[in-house]
């Protein structure tokens, strides 16, 4: 049986990817030969502070946007626990959907040990395309600020600059792993959570999803940030096949994984990092070499 298995986890947050190995695999001319026993080699120094992993997002083969995840701090908390702080940003150019404006997202996700700590992000729609040096806040339409705290079991949604705040309790999520479906870097935590991912088998996985995967299309106008409605989804992850793919001209060997019921397909490297995804509705993304 071919298994995806974790070799060593000294610090959980070091297990978030193997991005350096991934980047090397993508840029290399020669395809990496797969061993019969596939292992997710969790490299202790996989993420260094300042490392950034970026994806190009496409919609119907047009560049829709870009997302980036960057490790900005590794800290020791007062109680002795360790924390990894990641900054993330997404920019979607809605002209690729035949619309106008830009959807921008920036946030911070913290991982404390095995668990996700507070997840905090801002998301807003810019009504005009393009970049301006002196941009004012009023250009954002429906800017929202979201704070999820899985440890405290609460979340709050607010609008910067106003007093409007909505607070509520998160659904019970003892085993759930936080995954923002639009942030590909979060999936690495999911694949790191098990010691093996047998090829051809379907395994259950509980996910804490802050908002459903947005549906983009030419006839579906994007009017603002994504709706926030945290749920704990019981998903099944199937490692369907071993499959070589081409990422921007480079041949890479991957495992194709299907996430049901979201309909997402992820191509994951033997090191556990997401190389490509496809939502089956026109949205796809690839790791930038």
Partner 1 sequence: MKPPKLAVLVLAGLLLPFLIAAKPSRTRLQGPITDFWNQVKREWAQSIPGLRKGPSQTYQWISLVYGSPGEDEFLDNLLEHEMRTWASLMERQWIRSMFWKKSYERLRRDSFYGSRALRKNLVVMGTPSSNPLLDEMTQGTPFSVDDGGIQIGSKRYQGTSLVLAFIRPNPLGENSYVLVLAASNQLALLSLTDLSLGPTDYVLFRGSHIVESGFLDWSDPQALTLAGGRLVNPDHQGWEELATDGVRVHYHPAEFSRHEVESFGEERALELEALQKFVGTGATVGWDEYLYPSLDVKMRHTSAPDPVSVDLAGAAIHRVWRPGQEVALWPAAMLQVWRHWGVTDLTGLLYGLSFLPGGELEGQSLQQWAGRLEGRRELRRAETLIPQNRFHGEDGARNVLQVLGLGAFLEHLAETRGRETVQAFYRKARRRNFRRVFRDIMGTSITRAETTWRRGLKDDGFQVAASPASSTPAPSSRVSQLMKRGESAFLERRDQEAAKLLSRAIELDPGQARARVLLARIAFRGDRDEEAILQARSALKARTEDPFVAAWARTTLGRALATQGNVNGARLELTDPAVAQGPDSPRRLADYWLETLGLSPNHAMAARYLSQQAELDLQRYDWDTAEKRVLRILSADPGNADAHHLLARVRLNKYRYWHDFAMLYNELFPGTIPSDPQQYFFLAQSSAQESRKGALLESGEYTPIDIDLGDALDPTPGAENVRGPRSVFVPRAAIGGDQHQQHFLRAEGFFLARDWKRAASNLTAILEIGIPVSNFRALVLYRLALCEFELDQPDEARKHLEEAASTTRDRAHRNEMLQLLKIQESREDQSLRFR
- Listed residue (6, 91, 84) closest to 49, CA to CA: 84
Q: How far is the CB of 269 from partner 1 (least distance, A)?
A: 18
Q: Is 142 in the site for partner 1 (CB under 8 A)?
A: no
* Shortest CB 231 distance to partner 1, Å: 23
Measured CA distances, 106 to 33, 58, 241 (Å): 37, 19, 34
197 vs 267, which CB is nearer to partner 1? 267
85 is an interface residue for partner 1 by CB under 8 A: yes
Q: Which stretch binds partner 1 (CB under 8 A): 73-81, 185-193, 229-237, 252-260?
A: 73-81
Of the ranges 1-9, 120-128, 179-187, 205-213, which one interacts with partner 1 (CB under 8 A)?
Answer: 120-128
Q: How many residues does the chain have?
A: 289
58/232 with CB nearer partner 1: 58
DSSP, res 211: S
Binder among 49, 152, 172, 241 for partner 1 (CB under 8 A): 49
Is 53 within 8 Å of 67 (Cβ atoms)?
no
If one asks whether residue 93 binds partner 1 (CB under 8 A), the answer comes out as yes
Q: Is 162 in the site for partner 1 (CB under 8 A)?
A: no
Alpha helices in 154-221 (DSSP H): 187-192
Closer by beta carbon to partner 1, 77 or else 172: 77
Report DSSP letters for 19-82, one per residue.
HHHHHHHHH-SSPPPPPSS-EE---TTSS-TT-EEEEEEEETTEEEEEEEEEEEEEEE-TTS-E
Binding mask 182-211 for partner 1 (x = CB under 8 A): ------------------------------
């Amino acid at each position: 049986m071919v298994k995806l298995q974790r070799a060593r986890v000294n610090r959980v947050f070091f297990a978030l990817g193997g991005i350096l190995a991934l980047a090397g695999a993508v840029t290399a001319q020669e395809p990496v030969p797969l061993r019969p026993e596939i292992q997710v080699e969790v490299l202790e120094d996989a993420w260094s502070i300042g490392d950034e992993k970026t994806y190009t997002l496409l919609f119907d083969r047009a560049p829709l946007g870009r997302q980036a995840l960057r490790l900005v701090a590794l800290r020791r908390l007062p109680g002795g626990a360790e924390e990894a702080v990641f900054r993330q940003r997404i920019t979607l150019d809605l002209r690729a959907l035949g619309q106008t404006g830009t959807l921008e997202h920036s946030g911070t996700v913290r991982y404390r040990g095995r668990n996700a700590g507070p997840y905090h992000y801002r998301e807003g729609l810019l009504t005009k395309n393009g970049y301006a040096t002196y941009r004012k806040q009023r250009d954002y339409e429906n800017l929202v600020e979201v704070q999820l705290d899985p440890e405290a079991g609460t979340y709050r949604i607010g609008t910067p600059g106003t007093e409007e705040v909505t607070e509520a309790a998160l659904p019970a999520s003892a085993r759930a792993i936080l995954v923002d479906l639009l942030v590909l870097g979060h999936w690495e935590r999911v694949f790191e959570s098990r010691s093996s991912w047998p090829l051809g088998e379907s395994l259950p996985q509980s996910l804490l999803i802050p908002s459903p995967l947005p549906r983009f299309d030419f006839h579906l106008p994007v009017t603002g940030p994504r709706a926030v409605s945290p749920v704990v989804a019981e998903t099944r992850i199937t490692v369907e096949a071993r499959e070589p793919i081409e990422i921007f001209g480079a041949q890479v060997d991957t495992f194709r994984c299907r996430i049901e019921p979201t309909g997402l397909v992820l191509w994951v490297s033997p090191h556990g990092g997401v190389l490509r995804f496809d939502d089956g509705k026109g949205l796809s993304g690839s790791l930038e070499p």
